[in-house]
Structure 1
Amino acid sequence: MVRDAKVGLGLRREMLDEFCHSVPNAIDFFEVAPENWMTFGGKFGRQFRQLTERHRFFCHGLSLSIGSPSELDVGFVKQIKHFLDLHGIDIYSEHLSYCSAGGHLYDLMPIPFTDDAVMHVAKRIKRVEEILERPFILENVSFYTAPGSEMTELEFVQAVLNEADCKLLLDVNNVYVNSINHQYDALKFLKAMPTERIAYLHIAGHYEEATDLMVDTHGSDIIDPVWQLLEHCYAHHGVFPTLLERDFNIPETQVLLQEINQIHDYQAQALSPIHRSA
């Protein structure tokens, strides 16, 4: 089940000067939140266009609010399409959550794990796909409470993917964080994800508030249990493009490259004939 051994990095505005001059060979693609870049003009806009003309980009949205009870913001989706078309970006993913309900909530809120929610989200995903003219890729999210749930997180994610017939952005760190916070088997959850739906992966660091409470921050180094989960993911599902998320406490590029190269190493191990025949 060999897929695509590529490693990417989330692009931040403060990286533009450096990467417009030179992008390390270890970085195969960049990921951006379109909301953070759609309105840029001037120097930042020119630098961003320079990079998109030379390098592969993925988009990972923040504000679509796919699970919101409010009407789908079609105008916003059309803005996303224009941005994707302008920069030749064919990969668009979003969170299995919502962030608006009569106004913006400024956080990614958990969708109740119910049959009604499955149908609601799936219908909206199909509408977004029609507008974007691209496959919709849905990310499993970290969450800290599950109000009104009638099924497990695993059952809910599987049901939405099946009903919407969409792709999956499998966030390995979110699986680990949720497994600690909600006390389930991370490896079992990971293996239950449908291989044929996986488009790419995320991996990141998080904050340990307590031994039984992890906070998904993308602001620290990746810890060993998450690395091990990534290794298991490649072994079970095959190798997919993998994105290193680092949203704050961002170190120098040479430090980021240590984790990027570690992902490359895990991919190479998974693809080696010895490893595959073991």
Structure 2
Amino acid sequence: MNTPHMFAGLGLRRGLMSELLTLEEGRVDFLECAPENWIGVGGAFGKGLSQLTERFALTCHGLSLSLGGSEPLDRAFLDQTRQFLDHHRVPLYSEHLSYCSDDGHLYDLMPIPFTDEAVHHVAGRIRQAQDHLQRRIAVENISYYAAPYQALSELDFIRAVLDEADCDLLLDVNNVFVNACNHGYHAQAFLQGLPVARVVGMHVAGHYDEAPDLKIDTHGASVNEDVWALFALACERFGAQPTVLERDFNYPPLAELLDETARIRAVQQEVSHVPDVA
């Protein structure tokens, strides 16, 4: 496998597996998966994953580490994750800046209070995870709807966590747009406030317009034009980072998803001077 550049990627979902296995070289630069959905998987899906990782680079975006949770980190799961990342030569592993367990799995990504105490708590857990995984990780800014106590702004909270944990940021551009609409801040100012050196990847996705001031992050629709515009601004500030098109359900024909991944690369080329590697 020879992948000198990783610019435009697509989420690896089981519902897309049969089509991805026949995907032509160069249509995407890499694929992204949630490791917990694939660890220990055998049969046709396990074989398909092996075939795809022979042809495409793989990044991983976790769902269940619960970095903001109160229960101890699951060390057995961290061991499995490290083995998976090493086996598939994964260059970028990210997780959500949230928590998803409390005496059991909550099956949702819950927001963390924006306080100094929470900064120290989650930063310590990120450092533990990095030490156990023997690699840097990136945390993703999540979408949220009911905000817990906020002594800090979302931006200041994220900056403080990145600094204290000494970790990276996976910038979800759609989440910035959704949160800005829902919580009344300026998305462009949010991007300007993020530290450039910390951003190592991006996500774009679709959302649902419930109302002018209420957007729902669904990953079930095409990327909104306003999100594409915000993505262009992000590329201008942070450069052409590995960027994944996330689509979790309501799949269109693969050709439509590939049109969107091609648009990721086109935006990067336009504003970040990325060479055409397709």
Please give the secondary structure, in 2, of the residue aligned with 1:134.
coil
Q: Which residue is equivalent to 1:87? A: 88
Identity %: 50
What CA distance in whole angstroms lies between the structure 2 residues aligned with 1:34 and 1:180? Answer: 31
1:151 Cα shift? 0.7
2-side partners of 1:221 and 1:233: how far apart? 19
> Counterpart of 1:80 in 2: which secondary structure?
helix
Normalising to structure 1: TM-score of the pair? 0.94
Aligned to 2:264: 263
Task: Give the secondary-structure state (helix, strand or coil) at the position aligned to 2:94.
Answer: strand
Question: What is the match of residue 55 of structure 1?
Answer: 56
The structure 1 segments of at least 4 consecutive aligned residues displaced by more than 4 Å after TM superposition are none
CA distance in 1, matches of 2:138, 2:115: 20
Residue 193 of structure 2 corresponds to residue 177 of structure 1: no
Matches of 1:195 and 1:217, distance apart in 2:
27
- Structure-2 residue corresponding to 1:235: 236
Deviations 1:125-151 (A, max 9, x none): 111111111111100110112212211
1:116 aligns with 2:131: no
Spell out the pairing of 1:92-171 with structure 2 (5 A cutoff): 92-171=93-172
Letter in 1 for 2:122: V
Matched-pair contact (CA < 8 Å) for 1:97–1:111: yes
Q: What does residue 71 of structure 1 align with? A: 72
1:237: how far off?
Answer: 2.0
Unaligned stretches of 5+ residues in structure 2:
none
Matching residue's letter, 1:88: R
Q: Which residue of 1 aligns with 2:222?
A: 221
**TM-score calculated relative to the size of structure 2:** 0.94
Q: Tell me the residue number matched to 1:253.
A: 254
The alpha-carbon distance between structure 1 residues 145 and 126, as it changes in their structure 2 partners (threshold 3 A), is same
Partner amino acid, structure 2, of 1:22: L
Code of the residue aligned with 2:216 in structure 1: it is: V
Tell me whether 201-210 or 21-30 shows the greater mean CA deviation.
21-30
Structure 2 contact 6–29 (Cα < 8 Å) conserved: no
Task: Give me the whole-angstrom Cα distance separating, in 2, the residues matched to 1:126 and 1:99.
Answer: 18
What's the secondary structure of 2:95's corresponding residue? Answer: strand
Aligned-pair distance for 1:24? 4.7
Q: Deviations over 1:10-39 (max 9, x none)?
A: 011132222223335220000000111113
1:17 corresponding residue in structure 2: 18
- Supply the distance in 2 between the matched residues of 1:137 and 1:24 (Cα, whole angstroms): 27
Query: How much has 1:225 moved relative to structure 2?
Result: 1.0
CA distance in 1, matches of 2:158, 2:8: 25
| SS of alignment partner, residue 254 of structure 1 | helix
Shift in Å, 1:89:
1.4
Q: In the aligned structure 2, how far is the partner of 1:222 from the partner of 1:90?
A: 26
CA contact (8 A) 1:5 1:239 kept: no
Say which is worse superposed, 5-14 or 191-200, in terms of deviation.
5-14
Any idea what SS the aligned residue of 2:59 has?
strand
Contact 2:140 2:171 in 1 (8 A): yes
Shift of 1:191: 1.4
**CA distance in structure 1 between the partners assigned to 2:187 and 2:272 by the alignment:** 23
Inter-partner Cα distance in structure 2 for 1:74 and 1:23: 38
Distance 1:22 1:174 in 2: 28
Mapped to 2, the partners of 1:121 and 1:139 lie a distance apart of 13
Whichever residue aligns with residue 173 of structure 1, its letter is N
1:91 and 1:134 in contact (8 A); partners too: no
User: How far, CA to CA, are the matches of 1:272 and 1:88 in structure 2?
Assistant: 27
1:141 aligned counterpart, secondary structure: coil
Q: CA RMSD in A?
A: 1.4
CA distance in 1, matches of 2:44, 2:79: 25
